[in-house]
Structure 1
Amino acid sequence: MTPYLDPRTARRRFTVVTFLFWLPVGLYLPALVLLPTERGFSVAAIAGLFAVYSLTVAALELPTGGLSDVIGRRPVLVAAGVLNLAALVLFAVGTTAWVLTLAMLLLGAGRALSSGPAEAWYVDTVQAHSGWDAELRTGLARAGTASATALAAGTLIGGALPWLLGLGPDPGAWLAEATSGVVLPLSAPGLLGGAVVIAFMGFVLTRLPEPPRPPATLRGVVAGVPATVIGGLRLGARDRLVRRLLLTACATGAALGTIELLMPGRASALTGAPESGAAVFAGLACGGFACTAVGSHLAPFLARVAGDADRAVFAGLGAMATGLLVLTVSVACSGVRALVLLVVGYALVYLALGAAGPNENELLHGRVSGAHRATALSVQSLALQALGAVIGLLAAALPQGPFRWLPGALLLVAGALLWVRRDRGDGVGAAGGGDGSGYRRDRAESPHADAAASTTRAGAGA
């Protein structure tokens, strides 16, 4: 009798832990700019806080992925929870620049630590139970749905809670008076998020048993993390499919960086006022998360209709590129037509994003062994964030109008075209990474490839 969780139970627990992780993020998003503003910080100061967060994530992304591969998934997830809890409390009650800077530093470190271990735990557990060619797409899709649903629900609650606490003749005065001005109505979403983080850590400690691994020593960690990071960086250099997935992450990051930078201003321009533009953008953001949830849920269906994960990725990226091109065209329009194109394009981008993601990650996990799994996910995340930042800077430097949207749209089209050619015979090493490379042969190279592919497609709807 196997000592590991069965795939259905692992899938369910992976979905729950994903929801619990992303719900606090959705809760504090509406107050992320407004709370420092309420405390008297300028826009430039807030941008500096965001830069601290981004640089921290970028600096720690690969080392923390390597740490998860060396010491295990659960300790790293708990450490991420501890840092996120401290960050949310400091952000909610901080009134000085150094406290908020520390909060963003801790938040960035927690985000880097959490990038990959939960998904790596799920893949480790399923493959330990059912073999390396186990069906993964359904669990990845449901986790994608859970994360998007958590963000949508959290955004709504995080936006409504300060408003409810501020009701009355003197909005929020009772709360500020009771706490000597430390806690404002806009602080409540972060504090509520902290409570959810505690539940997240409890769930990780009690419900995510790990397959056995050799005990880690301090010397082993110090030596193992750099070696694992180097192995992760070699992934794209030695395997064409992994390299294609990383380039796809770059293209996706370029698209998302463009939208996140330009969409708030576009919404304000359409409505004629920053306040109404913020309301429209909040509605779009919530709708985008909902579309991503639906797209993630449909990812296995898309793979069955398309024939395999490669074609599903091509279809998802193609639809996403189409949505971004529609957004680009909407900038040249005005009135109701511009608003309709904006909503349609935005919804299509995030629907396709959700549909493509689980299929991309199933392909990635088919090439990477457990020894490098979290590192590979960190490399993928770093590629997405890095190109998003670069394209954001480029878009800001271009003249106003459709030209600002074009670089991200064209890179996304190029990312979709990467999947036109179906060259899968590029695996390195034996199945399971027997040569120490950390790679696996793709299913298409196995003598039982047809049977495995059929089983995957049949099980995708489970």
Structure 2
Amino acid sequence: MTPHLDPRTARRRFAVVTFLFWLPVGLYLPALVLLPTARGFSVAVIAGLFAVHSLTVAVLELPTGGLSDVVGRRPVLAVAGVLNLAALVLFALGTAAWVLTAAMFLLGAGRALSSGPAEAWYVDTVHAHSGADTELRTGLARAGTASAAALAAGTLIGGALPWLLGLGPGLGARLAAATSGVVLPLSVPGLLGGAVVLVFVAYVLTRLPEPARPPATLRGVVAGVPATVLGGLRLGASDGLIRRLLLTTCAIGAALGTIELLMPGRTAALTGAPESGAVVFAGLACGGFACTAVGSHLAPFTARLAGGAERAVLVGLGAMAAGLLLLTASAAWSGTWALVLLAVGYALVYLALGSTGPNGNELLHSRVGSAHRATALSVQSLALQALGASIGLVAAALPQGPLRWLPGALLLVAGALLWVRRGRTGGGGPGGNRRDRAESPRADATAATARSGVGA
């Protein structure tokens, strides 16, 4: 039988595996649009590639979460790493549209597979060692800090490497010439990200032990995954706290979707040129990741100061709404003051985002058993992405100016209001409100249901 890791060791390994997963993402982000453009692809083709990625994630999000709950966290994470490795190599070296399409499909599949298993592994490990009432937010906060730090570092490295290769004797040009244009300077961050993915896979296979599960047959997996997914969806529909968390995630997705869609154009308008706007936006993005890291690190302190996880979620959503309202106000201004409002609002949104995530997820894990943990996280991720994509259609239909920012801000205010009554009445401990928890569906029953489809 595999020995259970103590919470401190599990927390450290969860942070490391999170950092290793997100570092390659940060590395290839600066080249995600620029590399296909350098190869001669139009904006329409690049938008189509993004659509392939988004659609793949949306279709596979729930089935892959159920797969992790059925066959285990470690194998699903390892497969996600292998798919990401293949995707990064194809993306870095591909010169044909079908190759880049395959890369985006694999990248989307890897993203869907990776959504939840590492966090589910951490929670399962801590609960197995110390019981279901053990405090989780510190480990969740450390992982949030690790992911934001990885994205910030990766973005800086991924943006600087192609520029450095173009300096001096023209190493980048010689590299492109020697490979007949297959390897461009913009390809190097993706290839470096692939090397990090190899380390990620090795770490997952060697450092994330989990209890042995019954051998899963193909028939058992095919039967077990849909049952697990449906069980997770029923749990969300029947539990008031989980519904509130999912609605909160929708509001956050709308806010982030608004920012991602409108911010690049806004910085370009403020600086007067797309090139200078891109530099300002890159600086804001890196600063936003850093603010998220700080917010995640302070999440346990925020919960203690606010009087519990539910009140901390309320405070975080209120701060995010205030930040997005500042961004909305900045859209009515021009010049230095608009840039100041933009920077302050952006920083506040991402600082509060980092603080809200760990406290909200601790509440989620207090209501979801191991059999549906990864599925619940996948439902949460799907809600975030769905509203993030939908808000773009709404914003694009509105006239330019503050009005385009307003729907996302109002949805965040509505999300915060969902917690006003809860924030006043209880739920401060690791397990949330114990009366509510006793009335929620029991983890033991759901675990038995999920295991019934898997066997030798």
Give the TM-score range, shorter chain.
over 0.9
1:384 aligned residue: 384
Is 1:161 aligned with 2:161? yes
Q: Residue by residue, what CA displacement relative to the aligned partner does 1:167-196 show, whole Å, maximum 9, x if unpaired?
A: 136572201111111000000000000000
SS of corresponding position for 2:367: coil
**Once the 2 structures are TM-superposed, how far is the Cα of residue 233 of structure 1 from its aligned partner?**
1.2
Task: Tell me how far apart the structure 2 counterparts of residues 420 and 252 of structure 1 sit (CA, whole Å).
Answer: 17
SS of corresponding position for 2:213: coil
Q: Is the 8 A contact 2:251 2:415 kept in 1?
A: yes
2:429 aligned residue: none
1:307 aligned residue: 307
1:33-52 maps to which residues of 2 (within 5 A)? 33-52=33-52
Q: Residue by residue, what CA displacement relative to the aligned partner does 1:237-280 show, whole Å, maximum 9, x if unpaired?
A: 10000000000000000000000000000000000000000000
Task: Tell me how far apart the structure 2 counterparts of residues 90 and 321 of structure 1 sit (CA, whole Å).
Answer: 39
2:430 aligned residue: none
Counterpart residue identity of residue 159, structure 2:
G
Q: Residue by residue, what CA displacement relative to the aligned partner does 1:158-217 show, whole Å, maximum 9, x if unpaired?
A: 000001111136572201111111000000000000000000000000000012332222
Task: Tell me how far apart the structure 1 counterparts of residues 446 and 174 of structure 2 sit (CA, whole Å).
Answer: 62
Task: Tell me how far apart the structure 1 counterparts of residues 318 and 2 of structure 2 sit (CA, whole Å).
Answer: 42
1:260 aligned residue: 260
SS of corresponding position for 1:436: helix
Q: Which runs of 5+ in 2 are unaligned?
A: 426-432, 450-456
Task: Tell me how far apart the structure 1 counterparts of residues 11 and 214 of structure 2 sit (CA, whole Å).
Answer: 25
Task: Tell me how far apart the structure 2 counterparts of residues 259 and 413 of structure 1 sit (CA, whole Å).
Answer: 16
1:126 aligned residue: 126
2:373 aligned residue: 373
2:297 aligned residue: 297
Q: Is the 8 A contact 2:2 2:209 kept in 1?
A: no
Counterpart residue identity of residue 339, structure 1:
L
Q: Is the 8 A contact 1:291 1:351 kept in 2?
A: yes
SS of corresponding position for 1:66: helix
Task: Tell me how far apart the structure 2 counterparts of residues 70 and 180 of structure 1 sit (CA, whole Å).
Answer: 46
1:433 aligned residue: 443
**Once the 2 structures are TM-superposed, how far is the Cα of residue 232 of structure 1 from its aligned partner?**
1.4
2:137 aligned residue: 137
2:216 aligned residue: 216
Q: Residue by residue, what CA displacement relative to the aligned partner does 1:102-129 show, whole Å, maximum 9, x if unpaired?
A: 0000000000000000000000000000
2:331 aligned residue: 331
1:360 aligned residue: 360
Task: Tell me how far apart the structure 1 counterparts of residues 166 and 196 of structure 2 sit (CA, whole Å).
Answer: 22
Q: Is the 8 A contact 2:242 2:364 kept in 1?
A: yes
Q: Is the 8 A contact 2:61 2:378 kept in 1?
A: yes
Task: Tell me how far apart the structure 2 counterparts of residues 261 and 229 of structure 1 sit (CA, whole Å).
Answer: 31
1:92 aligned residue: 92
**Once the 2 structures are TM-superposed, how far is the Cα of residue 234 of structure 1 from its aligned partner?**
1.2
Q: Is the 8 A contact 1:429 1:437 kept in 2?
A: no
Task: Tell me how far apart the structure 1 counterparts of residues 195 and 78 of structure 2 sit (CA, whole Å).
Answer: 14
1:283 aligned residue: 283
SS of corresponding position for 1:434: helix
TM-score w.r.t. length of structure 2: 0.94
Q: Residue by residue, what CA displacement relative to the aligned partner does 1:132-172 show, whole Å, maximum 9, x if unpaired?
A: 11111000000000000000000000000001111136572
2:66 aligned residue: 66
SS of corresponding position for 2:446: coil
**Once the 2 structures are TM-superposed, how far is the Cα of residue 426 of structure 1 from its aligned partner?**
3.8
Q: Is the 8 A contact 2:372 2:446 kept in 1?
A: no
Task: Tell me how far apart the structure 1 counterparts of residues 209 and 391 of structure 2 sit (CA, whole Å).
Answer: 40
1:98-117 maps to which residues of 2 (within 5 A)? 98-117=98-117
Task: Tell me how far apart the structure 1 counterparts of residues 446 and 101 of structure 2 sit (CA, whole Å).
Answer: 41
2:56 aligned residue: 56
TM-score w.r.t. length of structure 1: 0.93
Task: Tell me how far apart the structure 1 counterparts of residues 44 and 79 of structure 2 sit (CA, whole Å).
Answer: 31
Q: Is the 8 A contact 2:24 2:193 kept in 1?
A: yes
Q: Residue by residue, what CA displacement relative to the aligned partner does 1:253-311 show, whole Å, maximum 9, x if unpaired?
A: 00000000000000000000000000000000000000000000000000000110000
1:3 aligned residue: 3
Q: Is the 8 A contact 1:152 1:289 kept in 2?
A: yes
What is the aligned-residue RMSD (CA, Å)?
Answer: 1.6
1:232-243 maps to which residues of 2 (within 5 A)? 232-243=232-243
Give the 3 Å change call, closer, same or farther, for CA 169–207 of structure 1 in structure 2.
Answer: closer
Is 1:351 aligned with 2:351? yes
Mean Cα displacement is larger for which, 392-401 or 23-32? 392-401
1:386-425 maps to which residues of 2 (within 5 A)? 386-422=386-422, 424=433, 425=435
Counterpart residue identity of residue 162, structure 2:
P
Task: Tell me how far apart the structure 1 counterparts of residues 3 and 272 of structure 2 sit (CA, whole Å).
Answer: 61
1:179 aligned residue: 179
**Once the 2 structures are TM-superposed, how far is the Cα of residue 427 of structure 1 from its aligned partner?**
4.0
Task: Tell me how far apart the structure 2 counterparts of residues 430 and 359 of structure 1 sit (CA, whole Å).
Answer: 19
Q: Is the 8 A contact 2:80 2:113 kept in 1?
A: yes
Mean Cα displacement is larger for which, 165-174 or 281-290? 165-174
Give the 3 Å change call, closer, same or farther, for CA 353–438 of structure 1 in structure 2.
Answer: farther
Task: Tell me how far apart the structure 1 counterparts of residues 261 and 307 of structure 2 sit (CA, whole Å).
Answer: 36
**Once the 2 structures are TM-superposed, how far is the Cα of residue 2 of structure 1 from its aligned partner?**
8.9
2:80 aligned residue: 80
Task: Tell me how far apart the structure 1 counterparts of residues 115 and 260 of structure 2 sit (CA, whole Å).
Answer: 20
Q: Is the 8 A contact 2:80 2:111 kept in 1?
A: yes
SS of corresponding position for 2:387: helix
Task: Tell me how far apart the structure 1 counterparts of residues 357 and 441 of structure 2 sit (CA, whole Å).
Answer: 24
Q: Residue by residue, what CA displacement relative to the aligned partner does 1:87-114 show, whole Å, maximum 9, x if unpaired?
A: 0000000001000000000000000000
Is 1:17 aligned with 2:17? yes
1:269 aligned residue: 269
Task: Tell me how far apart the structure 1 counterparts of residues 302 and 78 of structure 2 sit (CA, whole Å).
Answer: 34
Give the 3 Å change call, closer, same or farther, for CA 190–238 of structure 1 in structure 2.
Answer: same
Runs of 4+ in 1 over 2 A off after TM superposition: 168-172, 211-215, 423-432, 434-439
**Once the 2 structures are TM-superposed, how far is the Cα of residue 433 of structure 1 from its aligned partner?**
1.8
Task: Tell me how far apart the structure 2 counterparts of residues 327 and 339 of structure 1 sit (CA, whole Å).
Answer: 10
